[in-house]
A = this chain, B = another copy of it.
C-alpha cells in the first residue's frame, strides 16, 4: 500500500484514538474520584469530545483517505494489520455516518448524567430519581435504532455496536438452547442437598480483601506499570491506551466473594487490553475483538480459573492464613463448594455460573420490550420483580437489589448484556482448546502458575486486538463458530460433581 496515504489514515485514526482515550479518562474519573458538583460540566465535556470524535471519524478527509487505502488493498494479505485496519475503519465509518453528531453529543451528555443519577438512585434505592434519565436514554436509543432502518430486528443495531456482525436472531437461538439446559440443570441440583456457604458472609477486613485480590491478579500477569486498580460503585475496566489499563473493584466487608471475583474478572479484561500487539498502537485495532470475546476472557479467569479446584488448591492455604479466624475451620473442599453454590439469587454479578445466564436473558427480554415500547420505563421495577420470580423464583425487596443493580442502562449500554452470556459460551470453547494444547494446565494452575495460560491467550487471542470479528476469531481458534455445547458440558460436569 502507498505508505503516505496509509500513514495519513493512521494519523487521523490516532487522533480519534486520543479523543477516545481522553473520554475514557473522563469516564473513569467520573466513577472513581469526581465530586458531585462536577457532574454537569463533566457531561458537557464528554458531549463535546464525543461530538468532535464523531465528526473526525465521519469527516470528508478521513473518508477520502479511507477510500484511497481501500483502492490499494489488492495484493495485500487480508489478515495483515494494514488490511484489517482498513476493514475495521470502514465498518466503523459506515456505522457512524448514519448517526447525526448532535445525537452523539446528546447521548454522551444523557449517559454521563444518567450514571450520576443512577448512583444516587441506587444509593437510596429510589427508582423514581433515575426514571426520567433512563426514559431519555431509551428515547435516544430508539432514535439510534431508527438511523439503521431497515433492520431485521430493532435490537440488531444495539447488538452490532458491541458485537459487530452478530444478529439478534443468532443470540436468541443460542440463548434458547442455554435456557432449556440450564433450567434443567438448576432443577436437578435443587433436588440435592444444598452446599454450605455462610462462611463467606463473615467480616473480612477491606484492606486484606483488597491485598489478596491484588496478589492474585499480579500473579495472573497484570502489569502494574501499565495499569492500576481503584474503587468504584460498579467494577469496570477502562483503557486510556496500551500503556494505561485500569480496573476498579468494590470491597464489601461481609462478602468475601464479591471483591475477589470482580477483581479477577476485571483483571481478565485488563490482561486482554494489555496484550495487544504493539504494532496496533493508537489504532482502532488496539481494542478487544468484541465485548463477547472480552467477556470470554474476564469470565474465563473469574470462573474457569478462579472458581476451579486447582486454583484454590494453590490459593486456599494463603486465604486461610490471611483470615485464620474466619476460615480456619473451613476445609478446602467446603470452600470450593461454597464459592460454587448454586442458588437463584438477586444480583447478577454475584450469581453462580449455573444461573448467571438467566439474569442475562431477563435483561435481553426487557431491553427488547423497552425498545419495542411494549413496556414503559416507569413499569420496570414491577416488571423486574415479576420476571425475576418467573426466571429465578426470587424477587427483590427493593430496587437497589432489582432493576437498579447494574450501571449499564445508565451508561446507555443497551445491547451489551448478551455479551456476558456469549462470553461464558465462548470461554468454554476456548478452554476446551487450551486444555488440549496445555494438557497439564490444571496442575500448573494448582501450582499458581498462569504463565503458559496467559501466553496461549496472548498468542491466540490478545495479540490480534480487533482484527477479527467474534465468529471469525472463535472459528480461527477453536475450529467452530459460537457453540453452546462446551459451556453446557462444562456446567453439567462441574456442578454435578459439586453437588454429588
Contact = CB atoms under 8 A, between A and B. Distances in A.
Interface string A25-69: 110010001111111111011011100100000000000000000
Interface in A192-251: 223-228, 230, 240-244
Nearest to A274: B37
Contact of A33 (B47, B228, B282): B228
A317 interface: no
Interface residues of A, number: 39
Contacts of A15: 48, 52
A140 interface: no
B22 A225 contact: no
A469 interface: no
Interface string A262-284: 00000000000000000001100
B49 A227 contact: no
A19 interface: yes
Contact of A19 (B14, B48, B282): B48
A21 interface: yes
A240 B49 CA distance: 14
Contacts of A36: 225
Nearest to A34: B244
Nearest to A225: B37
Interface in A163-219: none
Interface string A3-21: 0000000000011001101
B243 A40 contact: yes
B19 A244 contact: no
**Which of A19, A223, A244 neighbours the largest number of chain B CB atoms within 10 Å of its CB?**
A244
A241 B42 CA distance: 8
A102 to B, nearest CB: 12
A22 B18 contact: no
A38 B230 contact: no
A241 B26 CA distance: 13
Given A25-B25, A37-B243, A18 B226 contact: no
Contact of A38 (B34, B40, B241): B241
Contacts of A227: 35, 37
5 contacts: A18-B47, A25-B29, A41-B241, A41-B244, A44-B241
Given A15-B48, A15-B52, A35-B227, 14 more contacts: A18-B47, A18-B48, A18-B49, A29-B29, A34-B244, A35-B225, A37-B226, A37-B244, A40-B243, A41-B244, A42-B241, A42-B244, A44-B241, A45-B240
Q: Which 4 A-B pairs have the closest CB atoms?
A: A41-B241, A38-B244, A37-B226, A37-B243
